[in-house]
Amino acid sequence: MNTTTAFHIWWFVIPVIVDSSTSDDIMTQGWIKSVSCDALNRAGRKVFRFEGRQIVLFDTSQGIYACNNRCPHEGYPLREGVLDEQCRLTCNWHNWKFDLQTGENQRDGDRLRVYPVEVRGDHIWIQIIDPPLAEQQEKTINDLNHAFCKHDYERLARELARLFQIGSDPPLAITRAIEWSSECMEFGWTHAYAGAAEWLRLYDDHDGEWEQQLICLLEAVGHMSEDTLRERRYPFASGALAWDEDAFVAAVEHEDETVALQHTRGALADGDAFATMERGLARAALAHYHSFGHALIYIPKAAELIHYLGEGVAPPVLLCLVRSIVTGFREDLIPEFSHYGDALSGFGQGQNGRPPSLEAFAGLNPAKAMALTAEHGSAPPAELYASLLAVNAQNMLTFDLRHLQDIDQPYGSDRGWLDFSHGLTFADAVYSLCTRYPELWPAGLLQMACFAGRNAGYDDSDVILEDWMVSDPQTFFQEITAMLMDHGQSEYIVSVHLLKTVQAVKRLYALPQVGAASQIALAALNRLLSSSVRRKMVRRTARQAMHFIRQDT
């Protein structure tokens, strides 16, 4: 029997034409008897079905070729495609072109699987052998990277689905996406990483439900992809310094990214870096009313990512996080929040050891809200926290939606749902970190007061708590989760804020010590989800620009 070696790698094949008889030994090597030579010769192309696969065979002047019948783009039957003399097959649906010798996609998209073939007697035999798992996984991750670099959402979904299909560890995709993206975020962390931590929570909640889990990974990886689309790399500083918490906090304060990153590398070299750095990260984030609370919000999410994905992901997660804290803006340096430092210095010196009521905060600007909080600073932190949580939840619950239509406000005076939902996601982070490091309670509580003050005065007196109370929280959260799995939002920034707010309120609701504040937060979330989330303010943007330019000139 004459034999010719056939390549077993499933994305590459050289056609093999051999005239030989069948044998049981050959059949055990994955060779499957398909169509007759006569049938293929008469038709030129034939589809062969085997265990759910559709394989199309082509009889060409250069030999016989076999490939998947379904185009890897959207499944159009390639039997209907156009084949040229160079054995290039064109899918007529979207004009994708494949080399039948290699499976290569001429448009740099998904490759086409091609199969070794042999002629044995009067039939064509096809070898169907799947490569080892490690080989399949490596190829799928490489293809995922191609889709990631282009933010090809549909291809991202297909490659992620392949990870499930081959029995790989699908969350590996998030690890790789973090590695690909961390140096492409010029100013460090974005909501994409924070959202990934929450998507992984939902991934675990849907264990065994592949479609739901695929959605979680797709949204996480897709967001990272979009946030770094066409961005160049911004390499992290090299070198390492022994971890020193005070020196690290000082470097962040002076916006010295190089030194802050070098201390981070020192912590990474020692192992278990997040545990080493957590308090220093929280101190640095709370030293100012930092980036609308983002710096603090991101820290627990970094812990979740490292805990879930392993220590291997700690370097890109922490280096990127530190960059975001270093480069973040310090809102307490602007007049509206400039009393933060004084309030922090005087925190707890008053004699009032009881938390102020919800009504006591009504209409207070940031300075007065901070002063009231500091005056009651000797109250138990948990009680003061519950009071401030109630204020921020109440502000969100009663947000006057007519302010979404404001078009004559100067830059920085706009109000939208995100201004209010951040008060709750920040509160969630405050509880997480300040219960671990009680010395940080004054800073965390005063910054909650900043949120309360900045959002005061935008309320609608017609909105009352009873109208939005949730009678069955368990069913409510189940329905919201189902909505998140098919949210329909075209912008990741909208869907990720919905996700983060839902997850934060779910955690806050589970805290028995916050009392009625959890009910108000739940009602506020209910109203948010029942309202439109308007993002693009065309007329407002144009009018603000015209007003600014007139003043500037």
pLDDT at residue 2 above 70?
A: no
* CA 297 to centroid of chain Cα atoms: 15
What percentage of residues in the chain have a pLDDT greater than 70? Answer: 93
pLDDT at residue 99 above 80?
A: yes
Confirm if 195 and 220 have CB atoms less than 8 A apart.
Answer: yes
Report the 10 Å Cβ neighbour count for 552.
Answer: 6
Alpha-carbon distance 415 to 400, whole Å? 10
pLDDT at residue 82 above 50?
A: yes
Confirm if 67 and 115 have CB atoms less than 8 A apart.
Answer: yes
Alpha-carbon distance 192 to 151, whole Å? 14
152-177 residue pLDDT tens: 999 999 999 999 999 999 999 999 99
pLDDT at residue 7 above 50?
A: no
The model's confidence at residue 534, banded by pLDDT at 50, 70 and 90, is low
The model's confidence at residue 21, banded by pLDDT at 50, 70 and 90, is very low
Lowest mean pLDDT among 102-111, 424-433, 534-543: 534-543
Please compute the mean of the pLDDT values over residues 114-128 and round it to a whole number: 95
The model's confidence at residue 13, banded by pLDDT at 50, 70 and 90, is very low
Alpha-carbon distance 325 to 523, whole Å? 32
Sheet of 31-36: strand order equals 31-36, 123-127, 117-120
Please compute the mean of the pLDDT values over residues 384-403 and round it to a whole number: 96
Lowest mean pLDDT among 42-46, 349-353, 415-419: 349-353
The model's confidence at residue 19, banded by pLDDT at 50, 70 and 90, is very low
Confirm if 507 and 517 have CB atoms less than 8 A apart.
Answer: no
18 vs 319, higher pLDDT: 319
409-435 residue pLDDT tens: 776 667 889 899 999 999 999 999 999
pLDDT at residue 303 above 70?
A: yes
Q: Which helix (H) or strand (E) holds 67?
A: strand 63-68
Q: What is the CA radius of gyration of the chain?
A: 29
Longest dimension (CA), the chain: 99
Q: Which helix (H) or strand (E) holds 226?
A: helix 210-227
pLDDT at residue 25 above 50?
A: no
266-295 residue pLDDT tens: 999 999 999 999 999 999 999 999 999 999
- The CATH T-level fold of domain 24-127 is Rieske Iron-sulfur Protein (2.102.10)
- Which residues lie below 8 Å from residue 477, measured CB to CB, with a gap of 6+? 502, 506
Alpha-carbon distance 256 to 238, whole Å? 14
Confirm if 8 and 115 have CB atoms less than 8 A apart.
Answer: no
First vs last C-alpha separation in the chain? 89
Confirm if 58 and 47 have CB atoms less than 8 A apart.
Answer: no
pLDDT at residue 241 above 70?
A: yes
